[in-house]
Structure 1
Amino acid sequence: MKIISKTIKFLPLFLMALAITSCSDDDDNNGGAVVPVQLNIVDTAIATADLSSLVAALQAADGNLVNVLNGSGPFTVLAPTNLAFETFLSDNGFANLEAVPTDVLSQVLLNHVISADLSSTDLTGLGAGYTRTNATGAGGNTMSIYFNTSNGVRFNDVSSVSTADVSASNGTVHIVDAVIGLPSIVDHAVNNSNFSALAGALTSEDLVTTLQGDGPFTVLAPINDAFSDFTNPDSNALSNILLNHVLVGAITSTDLVGLGNIYTNSLAVGPNDNAISLYSNTDNGVRFNGVSSVAIADVIGTNGIIHAVDTVIDIPSIVTFATADPNFSTLVTALTTLTPDTDFVATLSTVNGTSPAPFTVFAPNNAAFDDLGTPPAADVLTQVLLHHVLGNANVTSTNLVASNGAAPTMLNGQAITISLPGTGDNIADVTDGAGNTDIGIIAVDVQAGNGVIHVLNKVMLPSAD
């Protein structure tokens, strides 16, 4: 017993001697200055009593998370307190950490880890915005997190920094008062006050549940100023306008740029309940239907991606697509400048259900007009253009197939003949009123709110009679 007692008394002295030896070694290398050893993020959490639940969560979720945070970093860790974890478990119906599925707990914890060293001064200097965490969101992209420093430092509008700038050897720890759950695209819309008008509209039109579904969705989210400026000139249903901002799939800005200038479909519906088309142009940024540009790209949630846009994208008319798509620029000139006595724009903007809408427009592209050569006089050109428009019918490609060989009568009173399948690269062959047979439909089903467009490679000519 005496030997053990002496040994216990001696142990602190032995450890102190080791510490002195270590400091002496440092003294030799640093001119006599004592250099304390800085803890890394994991050791800092272990040494902080109010982060014991975080440490337990890291161990319960995935031992590899500890290895990650022991790495060189740099990281910024938003570290929830013990009370924050207690509230998280209670709110989500879990008895303890072990009851949380491992994959869920891992993603929640990764949503508190940013692969950069961000001090509170850095965040305050930025004011508000998005950065990325290490959690995985829609399409395998890293999750977005919204920070706002207008009143302290707050994340996703659910968690505030209570103790900032705890320095570690491989980054910075900010202790926060709530666990930050994994946000859906609806959560992101609600969390950012710049989307408050959108969030209110989604709620009023009962679309929140839809956008909380599995998805994935891509939402073109108008900012508040966009809603303030929107007058809904055609009195379209707000729910349909909102759905015109939703695409199926997780489409990043990189995807959009890579695809170039294309048409896709939104969740809005037009004549015969056909999906409304959306035209994206990437010649200068990313612009939709020629009216709305991306202001903030790639806000990633669990079930989709948000791109903030600067203008509400109304349900498009035939005229919307003609003016937005540069492939129809010569057609637009023909419909306006070259035929000043006929208000084609007003006619082709007629609201669906008001005669002669809906329309089926066979639209010659720029190359088709180039082949035509010098445009005819205005009165003749007017008849040529009317020969490309079928009134009171929204004939999609499916119906073109069903009516193979049909001869619809166009607005100039003459018929065209559509034959399927087309020859060469043509989807369908067309014979015009003048009997020309070298005309092809090369793209189909650009669906507007008041009709549908099919693209031609030649200008159709009416009979001289």
Structure 2
Amino acid sequence: MNKFRTISIVFSMLALIGFNSCDDDDVESPGAAIVGPGTVYTRISANGNLTTLETALNAATGDLPSTLEGAGPFTVFAPTDAAFTALAESLGFESNDDRSASEALLADIDPALLSQILTYHVVPGNLGAGSLSDGTSLTTVLGDELSVVVDGDGNVQLLDATKLSQTNPVSTVTQANNYADNGIVHFVDKVLLPAAAIGALSFDTRPTVLEWVSGTDELSSLASALDKAGLTDAVASLDTARILAPNNEAFTALFEALGDDYDDLDDFDNEVEISLLGEVLSYHILKPADGSIDLMAGAAETLLKDNTVDVTAVSGGFEFGDATAITASTITPNIDAKNGFVDIIDKVLIPQSALDFIALLGSDDLATTVGSTPQLSVLAEALAQTDLVETFEDMTNVQDTTATNFSYHMPATVFAPTDAAFADLFTALGPDYTSIASFDTDEEKELLKEILQYHVLKGKIVSADLEAGTVTTVSENDIEIISVVGTENFVIGDATNDVNANITAPDVFARNGVAHIIDKVLLPKSVIDFINSME
């Protein structure tokens, strides 16, 4: 016989066997070895991730294993061991040396109630994952309904009787279409709860304040901001709190107020901006007063240290005042959460630190500040002569090309010599040096550059924060901050070791730091050596 004819006959016989098996439940199909023989209960008991479900089926009333061994067909949504553990822990059961949390749950729960929970996971018929479309309602063997949700990624999910999208109570199908002779098993990652079980278990279906924020469309900007600022875990861990939650429109208004450099949260892209964002968000979290988070007129303490929000009672609710003259109104009040309340408001509340930041954005840089101060005209000329103008615009960021647009976030402190101080320096250098223009060779310009950088410290140090001691300048040479005995003043010592510089005008603020005007040009040792070599 032709071998091709033989193969054709064999395939024909297999096809006939396959067709006949559809009409006879007692005959296994040729594909049984692939899809897994046996009933839906067999599929459950044979899987190492469904051991708790198997135990539960045997513990519940109604002999559920025998039912699932029956003719069916059944579609079973099978919670994994991890799903049972999560349910047990949410109900307060804990693991110990003797048993797991899920074992403690099964030992404690009423078998009749357990039967209700389990039959809520079974739907009559063969329902492959492909047949479960978004919005479909499924009637379970219990008689209660399940709602099907298909998300944007195509994941099949089930919504149980909690029906609160903010808590993300969906049970996601993690492994679909495990076929059996009498149905299909789909693994799911959450134990589904019917209404009777929610009541009997006193199961708190309310979301946490974070879950409300994360699951509410009009608060998506706030949820993203919390994540960007690294506050998600901190908010999740709050035992009791009240969140004043600005809606998306409020964040849009904030970006408009900040100007062209801020179109969305992505523009908060350096450490200072992200830290400031965290301060703004913390300002929206009200701490309990006398153990209560109820709103009362007055100053409400916030999670932002030493900052309060003004709460004013108005018709139908409350308004909230910040460091600006514009109050926030309540859009949706008193959203009840598991660990507090959420109030949706129409404005991002602004603490004083944010106002200071906005003012800082509009202020002059150190180079401009120096150039606009009459008694510092020679210093401004010196900056130009040594090509340090751009450096003083962003003094300590010159090595950080990624931060050139954010000159405020790595500030500097400049001890700025007056014109008279430079006149004294020219006198000390002799008749060849009458002005900044006298520094005209490359060597002299480098010397002048070193002098100027000898007057700069990394970081913004206001006069109130000056402390006696030796500090290293940007030129990598030390100066000494000396406390004046009997006063709160300081003088600055250099390599001359004889004449110190007095601070004649402290705290001239700029966007990227602060200047203290002094009456002497500070001289590093290299300049002292240069002067001595001229004698």
Bin of the TM-score, shorter chain as denominator length: 0.3 to 0.5
TM-score by length of 2: 0.29
TM-score by length of 1: 0.33
Identify the structure with bigger relative contact order (alpha carbons < 8 Å, sequence gap 6+). Answer: 1
